[in-house]
Structure 1
Amino acid sequence: MSQKPDYQPGAFQWSFLLPQYWGIWIGIVFLMILAILPWAIQHRLAALIGNTAFKYLKSRRKTAVRNLEVCFPEWTAEQVQQNARQVFVDQMIGIFETLNAWYSPQWFKNRFSVEGLEHLEKAQTEGRGVLLLGTHSTLLDAGGYLCDQFFKLGVVYRPQNNPLLDMLIYRCRATIYEHQVDHDDMRGLIRQLKHGQAIWYSPDQDFGLKQGVMAPFFGVPAATVTAHRRLMKISKAAAVPLYFYRDGDIRNPQYHVLLEPALDHFPSEDEVADAIRVNQIIERQLRIAPTQYMWFHRRFKTRPNGYEKIY
């Protein structure tokens, strides 16, 4: 689990030049080289690495397979295996897409579109901040880059344990996001929303019932976070569902940003009803491109008494 760093995010430290960090510096140079490779090579490498990860990362593979089994009961066992494998491939493709967003953004030229931008603009015209309810997409920061082509946004992030990695990722993301808000900095997040900013927030992971309630996700009870309700009540922000995905021929992919109408009467006085509503939105979006989601996370790990274990 990531922990809050005891240094200024993005700040360089002379200690980063010590031998203990040399391996990371070498790795970063290697990643920069990968980012300038032709896309034909990138997606072939992604397929190779993704298939290898699917074969050897047994725990993650089992989690992804089980998630797909319970969320898509209409799929055959063969379809579940095929799609679980594709999740790992899409994750690796997403890493290359993120590297391109960081180091070679011109690659995305003429490859992206947006739908529903008026919903965000309407909320901001009213002087309200916008909480962009998104998901943990395999596109990673490539999705943030796509959004940045149409509107400025901030992101809620979890600091890396390694301070050098945290600095490097923070600086790369600074080219995409107008603001990066530590997930523990609730005051900072509320301040940005009160100032009319749009902040990408993903309420789609299991953090237990201390931070959420049980609500169906693809028909299966899941611990669902409710922190965004408090944020919105305090900041008076609007909630605009956000989704981005890739489609078309992998040799010439196209990217789409989808913004849906702001949720009306949200949050309500019923936190379970609100959790159900958000989960239904996420479900609908994920069905557009099911394998472009991080299904290897244990979405159903919290099982109170009376609930059947999933894993």
Structure 2
Amino acid sequence: MSKKHHYKSGKFYWAFLLPQYWGIWIAIVFLMLLAILPWAIQHRLATFLGNLAFKYLKSRRKTTVRNLEVCFPEWTVEQVQENARLVFVDMMLGVFETLNAWYSPQWFKDRVSIEGLQHIQTAQAEGKGVLLLGTHSTLLDAGGYLCAQYFEPDVVYRPQNNPLLDMLIYRCRATIYKAQIDHDDMRGLIRHLKEGDAIWYSPDQDFGLKQGVMAPFFGIPAATVTAHRRLLKISKAVAVPLYFYRHGDIKNPQYRVLIEPAVENLPSADELDDAIRVNKIIENQLRIAPTQYMWFHRRFKTRPEGYEKIY
């Protein structure tokens, strides 16, 4: 349950029918209509909106360009700019793909493949929970839907500030995930791991050094969360890298779920070494489809004394 309001996630309240919420109801109906559009129209709209966002969201564009500059120094200026633009297009495509997953899931039929499912099955057969080390992908909940075709994933989520929007998103996600765990509910997260669940968890953002250490990410020192070490230690779960991405012709896209072997000796006695290893796993994943990641987040915002500023 969110600390920002007293409503319980997923529950309908009569107050949601008050005029103050009518705009959201209208927007939801509009989004549902977008979900039934042919993909040819959806991807054209996404390209148009992505280009628009790239042009006018100057702060996000600047952050994206800077992230790509430091993470892919081998790219030319032109390549950085083009890939930065594609990040925004992929973000908009991800919105449509998520709408399809929520309201028109049959669109994904015969478009999904998976590699490495046995790594989850083996761990669960041994009675262990699985912490799926993933990323903040532009595919959003469409990625969860892809996974749900092969196993039952849980997800860690942050409740929305608006209670109606939170309720609607929670209910849509309930059709995809076995359980939705509030990011503040550490006890619930540990309980689900102890029960043998597979939980999608993304340790790829900068939350400062109160929750982590400085470790290289694409060769750049970055504040790296280490909370998953404690989760794994307490729950006796295993960490399994998970990545999903779109590939092939954009006019007829295919989707791939890649599951890698469980990370050995995680957590180890060395917090920094663990952070370095996890960052390297994420880095290798992102190199597969670089623009399908939320590069508009300030991944390198924490710069302790002695570290060069990135932004």
- What TM-score comes out, normalization by structure 2 length? 0.99
Q: Which residue of 2 aligns with 1:125?
A: 125
Whole-Å separation in 2 of the counterparts to 1:216 and 1:34: 41
> How big is the shift at 1:7?
2.2
> How big is the shift at 1:6?
2.1
Q: Secondary structure at the match of 1:288?
A: coil
Q: Secondary structure at the match of 2:88?
A: helix
Tell whether the 8 Å contact from 1:3 to 1:160 is kept in structure 2 after alignment. Answer: no
Whole-Å separation in 2 of the counterparts to 1:4 and 1:255: 36
Q: Secondary structure at the match of 1:245?
A: strand
CA shift in 2, pair 1:4/1:227, >3 Å: farther
Q: Which residue of 2 aligns with 1:96?
A: 96
Residue 240 (str. 1) matches residue 203 (str. 2): no
1:96-127 deviations in Å (ceiling 9; x for gaps): 00000000000000001000001110100110
1:15-70 deviations in Å (ceiling 9; x for gaps): 11011100000000000000000000000000000000000000000000000000
What is the correspondence of 1:173-184 to structure 2 with a 5 Å cutoff?
Answer: 173-184=173-184
What is the correspondence of 1:276-287 to structure 2 with a 5 Å cutoff?
Answer: 276-287=276-287
Q: Which residue of 2 aligns with 1:310?
A: 310
Whole-Å separation in 2 of the counterparts to 1:157 and 1:294: 16
Residue identity opposite 2:236 in structure 1:
K
Tell whether the 8 Å contact from 1:241 to 1:261 is kept in structure 2 after alignment. Answer: yes
Residue identity opposite 1:28 in structure 2:
I
Q: Secondary structure at the match of 1:223?
A: strand
Residue identity opposite 2:78 in structure 1:
E
Whole-Å separation in 1 of the counterparts to 2:169 and 2:4: 15
Q: Secondary structure at the match of 2:131?
A: strand
1:134-157 deviations in Å (ceiling 9; x for gaps): 000000000000000000010000
Q: Which residue of 2 aligns with 1:39?
A: 39
1:154-198 deviations in Å (ceiling 9; x for gaps): 000000000010000000000000000000000000000000000
Tell whether the 8 Å contact from 1:3 to 1:158 is kept in structure 2 after alignment. Answer: no
Q: Which residue of 2 aligns with 1:185?
A: 185
Q: Secondary structure at the match of 1:308?
A: coil
> How big is the shift at 1:4?
5.0
CA shift in 2, pair 1:3/1:302, >3 Å: farther
Whole-Å separation in 1 of the counterparts to 2:177 and 2:188: 15
Q: Which residue of 1 aligns with 2:292?
A: 292
Q: Secondary structure at the match of 2:266?
A: coil
What is the correspondence of 1:100-119 to structure 2 with a 5 Å cutoff?
Answer: 100-119=100-119
Whole-Å separation in 1 of the counterparts to 2:302 and 2:5: 28
Q: Which residue of 1 aligns with 2:24?
A: 24
Whole-Å separation in 2 of the counterparts to 1:145 and 1:155: 11
Q: Which residue of 1 aligns with 2:170?
A: 170
> Which structure 1 residue ranges, 4+ long, deviate > 3 Å from structure 2?
2-5
Tell whether the 8 Å contact from 1:10 to 1:170 is kept in structure 2 after alignment. Answer: yes
Residue identity opposite 1:267 in structure 2:
P
Whole-Å separation in 2 of the counterparts to 1:25 and 1:269: 51
Residue 256 (str. 1) matches residue 256 (str. 2): yes
Residue identity opposite 2:12 in structure 1:
F
Whole-Å separation in 1 of the counterparts to 2:5 and 2:275: 31
Whole-Å separation in 2 of the counterparts to 1:7 and 1:131: 28
Question: How many residue pairs were aligned?
Answer: 310
> How big is the shift at 1:13?
0.8
Q: Secondary structure at the match of 1:199?
A: strand
Q: Which shifted more, 5-14 or 190-199?
A: 5-14
- Tell me the percent identity: 81
> How big is the shift at 1:260?
0.2
Whole-Å separation in 2 of the counterparts to 1:240 and 1:207: 22
User: Structure 1, unaligned stretches of length 5 or more?
Assistant: none
Whole-Å separation in 2 of the counterparts to 1:160 and 1:106: 27
> How big is the shift at 1:9?
1.0
Whole-Å separation in 2 of the counterparts to 1:111 and 1:233: 37
What is the correspondence of 1:188-267 to structure 2 with a 5 Å cutoff?
Answer: 188-267=188-267
Whole-Å separation in 1 of the counterparts to 2:299 and 2:225: 11
Q: Secondary structure at the match of 2:242?
A: strand
Tell whether the 8 Å contact from 1:124 to 1:196 is kept in structure 2 after alignment. Answer: yes
Tell whether the 8 Å contact from 1:5 to 1:159 is kept in structure 2 after alignment. Answer: no
Q: Secondary structure at the match of 1:160?
A: coil
Q: Secondary structure at the match of 1:203?
A: coil
Whole-Å separation in 2 of the counterparts to 1:149 and 1:277: 29
Tell whether the 8 Å contact from 1:153 to 1:178 is kept in structure 2 after alignment. Answer: yes
- Cα root mean square deviation, aligned: 0.7
Q: Secondary structure at the match of 1:54?
A: helix
Q: Which residue of 2 aligns with 1:146?
A: 146
